[in-house]
A and B are shown apart, each in its own frame.
Chain A
Amino acid sequence: MRYVWLVLAVVLPAAVVLTLILWKTPYPISEGVAIVEDVSSTSDLQFLRPARYYYRPLFFASVFAAWHGSATPAGFVAAERLMMIAPIAILLALLLIRLRPRTTVDAAAAVFAFAVLMGSPAFFDNTEIPLTFTVVGMPAMLAVWMLAERAKGPAPTALFLALAVLAIGFKEQGLVILPVVVALWWLAAPGVSRATAAWTVAFGVAYLAFRFATKGPWAPFEQDIGFGFNVLSAAEASARFGGVPLPAYAYNAVSTISNLLLAEPTSGVFSITRDVVRGEAMPWQYLHVASSAAVTAIIAWWGVRSVTRARVDGWTAESRTAAVLAVAVAASGALSFNYSRERLGGMALVPYAVASFYALRAVLTSLREAEAWRIASVAVGFTLLTGIWQMRVVHTLDAERERAADNHREWLTDTYERRAAFAARGSYLHALDALTPQGTVRPPSPPHYPDWVTRLLGPT
């Protein structure tokens, strides 16, 4: 238990600071007020209609409940902040329980896994108030996985399905849970029964049938897509790829996967490669790519070794992690076919962080019989790698602060024009007026580091 406390003590400062930043982040005017407008009517629950491309009934229901259930706008904002903080806290707590370090090596690997989680853009991009989408699915995914690995026999099917519905209801990236459950059953996870696997498949088929049966007129591309070094608007992408969109869909899917595994491209744009080609790359860009590639390489080495052993000795919780990661990465990529964004790797980030724990532990354990020079060189290498990932965690915190500062700035500068533009939309103006006071309270700004620090950490 003392190693759990050790990991907690090391991870807690960043987690607490993240919570404090989120607690002081203004509810945004951009997108945020429009979401309130969407739920402002108590008679027309249009957000429940499945014809829309983005179907997130539970997300909108949560905003609906917060807006209509809060006595004051300040109460609503507090509820929205809590709805972002709570899933993050649950995710971090579940990860600690899942890893449950029992040795010094475990503790070092667990701290590393937390840094991989919190330092990844797939984490940061999912922590934007009020967009509690995949950030709900991430702890749900981990909870499902932990249920599947519980030793005391199969867990209730209803629990698996409830967690899947929760995740999918907030964002359809939650669908990643379904193939993961089936894969865990296939690999003899003790907590998943055949009935659970069957119900999961049936639910997945029924859900997809429901979505396609009720779908409206969807465009080939809903948002801008990155392509090579450039960004194409949705209209440009439709004009260029609309006839045969499959190659572009495949590009988007691979981009999301590559961003998670290699930190490049971002939203489909090879921005770091472009900067390297132009001789404009900053140190942080090299560090992000190198640290992501290093973790992915270690995971690949460990994954091949684990699966090879599992074929002989049988599957364990550790070797199943490799399979869960592969399935989650593939499913996350497939679900981001329409456009690639960092946040769309969120569901796969959870097994990626867990896999980094096992991989690092395997490396360190394999050194027990090694020569001193080899141990020393690996120790230096991993200390550097851990340091870079910790810098990425600090960057996540600073970027959260910058996001809060941006929200505040937009409230100061945008209200006049929005009032004019939405003069005919009473619900919008009502929400805008109600939320203006909280938006004009200045949150703490990110630190103003010397240039050399910014070049190492990355711009906010």
Chain B
Amino acid sequence: MLVPAIATALLVTALEAGRARQPDDPLFDGPPPRSLARAILDGDVEGAFAFVRAGRDPNQVIDATLPDASTGRDRTVHLTPLALATAAGDANAVRMLLSAGVDRTRPENQLALCLARERRDADLTALLTRAIPGTPTCPPHALD
């Protein structure tokens, strides 16, 4: 009867030792995301924040590949992380970037509100309407 308990003690110890030796093992935290854009598109809020925490400017435009709703094909876009997170419909990433202090007065970031409206995403539209000062002028197709 002690066998399962001893096995569990060994398992718990081995898991912790493994975590200490290889924290990036897929069993634990996994390898860090390759890029800020990848982290946002994968919904990896913690991974995306790690880039910002490491000094990456969250207002800088980044390249990413997004599926085009009209053609179904992938297309490359050049957006700020906030606009990309909105285009991906990731409310947590949007909240994280707002919390991290993105510049909400920059037109590139204000595009996020246009994207939220274009996506008809009521939650993100409400959040970004509160966050972004003034009324940004939106292009006919925000991703173009």
Contacts and interface: CB of A to CB of B under 8 A. Distances in A.
Contacts of A415: 99
Interface string B1-16: 1111111111111011
Main secondary structure of the interface of B (DSSP, over half): helix
Given A13-B13, A383-B3, 8 more contacts: A107-B2, A111-B5, A364-B1, A386-B2, A390-B4, A412-B99, A416-B99, A444-B28
A412 B40 CA distance: 14
Of A391, A405, A420, A444, the most chain B CB neighbours within 10 A belong to A444
29 contacts: A9-B9, A10-B2, A17-B16, A111-B2, A111-B5, A112-B1, A364-B1, A382-B1, A391-B8, A394-B12, A405-B46, A409-B45, A409-B92, A412-B46, A412-B49, A413-B92, A413-B99, A414-B99, A415-B99, A416-B95, A417-B95, A440-B49, A440-B53, A442-B46, A444-B29, A445-B29, A447-B27, A447-B28, A449-B27
B106 interface: no
Given A413-B95, A414-B95, A416-B99, A20 B8 contact: no
A448 B16 contact: no
Contacts of B30: 448
A178 B9 CA distance: 36
A387 B99 CA distance: 44
B4 to A, nearest CB: 4
The 7 A-B pairs at the shortest CB distance, nearest first, are namely: A387-B4, A390-B8, A416-B98, A413-B95, A416-B99, A415-B99, A111-B5
A326 interface: no
Interface residues of B, number: 36
Interface in B57-104: 92, 95-96, 98-100
A381 to B, nearest CB: 10
A13 B2 contact: no
Nearest to B127: A417
A356 B9 CA distance: 20
B137 to A, nearest CB: 24
A14 B95 CA distance: 36
A393 interface: yes
A421 to B, nearest CB: 10
Contact of B8 (A379, A394, A413, A449): A394
B4 A412 contact: no
A11 B49 CA distance: 37
Nearest to A381: B1
A444 B23 CA distance: 8
User: A interface, how many residues as a size bin?
Assistant: 35 or more
Nearest to B6: A10
Contact of B45 (A112, A390, A413): A413
Given A10-B2, A409-B46, A448-B30, A17 B12 contact: yes
B136 to A, nearest CB: 18
Contacts of B95: 412-414, 416-417
Interface string A111-139: 11001000000000000000000000000
Contacts of A403: none
A108 interface: yes
A408 interface: yes
Contacts of A260: none
A444 B28 CA distance: 8
A13 B12 contact: yes
A440 B1 CA distance: 43
A292 B29 CA distance: 32
Contacts of A416: 95, 98-99, 131
A240 B28 CA distance: 47
Nearest to B46: A442
Given A112-B1, A448-B30, A14 B12 contact: yes
Contact of B11 (A12, A394, A445): A394
Interface centre among A12, A383, A447 (most CB of B within 10 A): A447
Contacts of B49: 412, 440
A412 B12 contact: no
Interface in A386-424: 386-387, 390-391, 393-394, 397, 405, 408-409, 412-417, 420
Nearest to B8: A390
A107 B2 CA distance: 8
B7 A390 contact: yes
A386 B1 contact: yes
A445 B44 CA distance: 13
Interface string A85-116: 00000000000000000000001100110010
B100 to A, nearest CB: 8
Interface in B89-132: 92, 95-96, 98-100, 127, 130-131
Contacts of A107: 2
A390 B92 contact: no
A420 B99 contact: no
B12 A108 contact: no
Contacts of A448: 26-28, 30
Contacts of B130: 420
